[in-house]
Amino acid sequence: MNTTDNLNLAENYYNAMLAKDFDKMASYLDDNVHFIGPLAKMQGKEPIITAAKHFGSILQDIKIGSRFASHDQIMFAYDMVVPAPIGKFRAAVLMEFKGRLISKIELFYDASPFQEKKNEIFEDDSK
């Protein structure tokens, strides 16, 4: 698999998130995917998709500005848009791939505007 394939898979993952197609989004993830972000760390598909569903309820747009790939890793710099008062915020992601699946997602962004929404995004849906 080449680096262009990984870039395309990562972009498709974010397009599925934006379209709120969480089954498709899950299809890009390794079963043991590891997520590291400013607000939470998670292991496995289910908690990541649950968090994506919660975040997806406020997500309005994703605009990828820069893309880089090397071997089994990609990095995006992008803008995400959510309702005011947060609005547009800059973020970056480093993803690792095993085969054609995302095995690690590490997000970088200023989490301070999201502190009050943290429990809504990362709560357990099985309660």
CATH number of the domain enclosing 38: 3.10.450.50
Residue 127 lies in a domain: no
Domain presence at residue 126: no
| Domain presence at residue 107 | yes
Reading the chain (127 residues) residue by residue, the pLDDT tens digits are 578 899 999 999 999 999 999 999 999 999 999 999 998 999 999 999 999 999 988 999 999 999 999 999 999 999 999 988 888 999 999 999 998 999 999 999 988 877 665 566 666 544 4
Task: Count Cβ atoms within 10 A of the Cβ of residue 36 and give its class: 0-12 exposed, 13-18 middle, 19 or more buried.
Answer: middle
Q: What does the block give as tokens for 27?
A: 């299809």
Alpha-carbon distance 73 to 105, whole Å?
10
106: in domain: yes
Among 42, 39, 52, 59, CA closest to 13? 52
Answer yes or no: are the C-beta atoms of 32 and 43 closer than 8 Å.
yes
- Picking from 52, 55, 54, 30, the residue whose alpha carbon sits closest to that of residue 43 is 30
- On whether residue 77 sits in a domain, the answer given is yes
Domain count of the chain?
1
Domain, as residue range, for 43 = 3-121
